Amino acid sequence: MVTITRFVGLDYHQDSVQVCVMDPEGRVLANRSVPNDWEAIRAVVRGTVPATTKLVIVRASIECCSGAAHLAEELIERAEWAVTLAHPGLVNRMKQNPEKSDHADAIILADLMRLGYLPRVWLAPAEIRQLRALMRYRHRRVQDQTRLKLRMRALLREHRIAGPRGVGAWTLAWMAWLQQLELDDVSRFLMDEHLEELQRVQQKVREVERLLRQRTADDALVAKLQKIVGIGPITAITMRAEIARFERFDNGKQLARYCGVSPRNASSGHRMADAGLVKSGNPHLRRVIIQAAQRLVNYDRRWATFAARKMREGKPRNLVVAAVANRWIRKLYHLMQPEQLAVM
């Protein structure tokens, strides 16, 4: 039986997909726009195969964007294709040419797939994508909560009002003081609006956290992560959502770069310098890992000793915390490998 291989580039849009079909020699066999439907896409590829051929291997690439993962899953499960998500930032640089169009973009994706040069992105399972969506929704609500608190603080500063002594900010007693505070009519209206909205946002945060706990109640990885010093429930669930599986990375250094806690080199000639942390890391992971590193510096004896030594050498605290985050996540990579989990 003759086996035919087809390389397919899919330039994704909300309502349509540009489909380029290429043979192993690089000849373009078809390149046209079809409705955003897996059967319509498969039909384009079938049209390039002789009717007598029954065994076709299809290797497709699609630029990672909103909706692309769902289409990729349909093509994998229903059309039985091998589909790879392409890194949008790197592919975009490769598309910088004066003749940019959907037609040309689809050719580039197909050709990169054929040559093996496609910069790949891991296709997360549906349950991981859903967990990510919930975690990112929670983060947006927490940001809303922070903005509301800053507005209320601004109102107090405007009237030169200091909080009651001996009462922690945002405690129940402090909130009761805010509600009874004497202000002019406009400021009182604004303060009441902010308080009401803050209560609503806090309720949303509690609801999404309850749903997150329910969805990860039987998750072995989340349970293992919470046994490690410095990792609480939210940090553990965020790692599960954004990292998913530690073993999908080749080493701890690669994981640290993905988490955005690797130093960025800015050396030139004889000048050796760093330029902070890498900018291309996962911002959601960077946030929770830096927060975990702050806790480790404050409460874990080993990391506190390391941090104190670095600060005595003249390193600023924020740089030391970043160094702790980098070393800690690389150590965590080895601890969370399947063979290590089995003995934990």
Question: What DSSP string describes 7-50?
Answer: EEEEEE-SSEEEEEEE-TT--EEEEEEEES-HHHHHHHHHTTS-
pLDDT at 97: 66
pLDDT at 289: 95
| Strand-pair category, 274-277 with 263-265 | antiparallel
pLDDT at 229: 87
pLDDT at 271: 61
pLDDT at 247: 92
Q: pTM of the prediction?
A: 0.84
CA distance 274 to 116: 33
Whether 149 shows a pLDDT value over 90: the answer reads yes
Domain 3-121: CATH class, spelled out: alpha beta
Residue 86, token pair as written in the block: 């392409």
- Spacing of C-alpha 25 from chain mean position: 37
Coil vs helix vs strand at 61: strand
- Spacing of C-alpha 45 from chain mean position: 33
H/E element, 5: strand 3-12
Among candidate residues 10, 242, 38, the one with its CA nearest the CA of residue 118: 10
Residues in the chain: 344
Residue 99, token pair as written in the block: 């003749």
Name the residue with higher pLDDT: 273 or 303. Answer: 303
For residue range 331-343, what is the model confidence (pLDDT) as tens digits?
999 999 876 655 5
| Strand-pair category, 55-63 with 82-86 | parallel
Among candidate residues 342, 307, 336, the one with its CA nearest the CA of residue 321: 307
For 45, phi and psi rounded to 5 degrees?
-70, -40
Residue 276 DSSP label: E
Among candidate residues 293, 307, 284, the one with its CA nearest the CA of residue 140: 284
pLDDT at 163: 83
Name the residue with higher pLDDT: 92 or 236. Answer: 236
Q: 61 pairs with which residues across the strands? A: 9, 84
For residue range 241-268, what is the model confidence (pLDDT) as tens digits?
999 999 999 999 999 999 999 887 766 6
CA distance 69 to 201: 30
CA distance 83 to 74: 10
Q: 22 pairs with which residues across the strands? A: 7, 28
Average pLDDT over residues 309-319: 92
For residue range 70-123, what is the model confidence (pLDDT) as tens digits?
999 999 999 999 999 998 877 777 666 667 788 988 999 999 999 999 888 899
Coil vs helix vs strand at 243: coil
Q: Structural domain boundaries of the chain?
A: 3-121, 126-215, 224-341
Name the residue with higher pLDDT: 146 or 64. Answer: 146
Average pLDDT over residues 178-182: 91
For residue range 37-71, what is the model confidence (pLDDT) as tens digits?
999 999 999 999 887 777 789 999 998 888 899 99
Contacts of 189 (CB under 8 A, 6+ apart): none
pLDDT at 341: 59
**Local confidence band at 223 (pLDDT 50, 70, 90 cut-offs):** very high
pLDDT at 344: 55
Average pLDDT over residues 12-16: 92
CA distance 100 to 70: 26
Average pLDDT, the chain: 90
Whether 282 shows a pLDDT value over 70: the answer reads yes
% of the chain exceeding 70 in pLDDT: 93
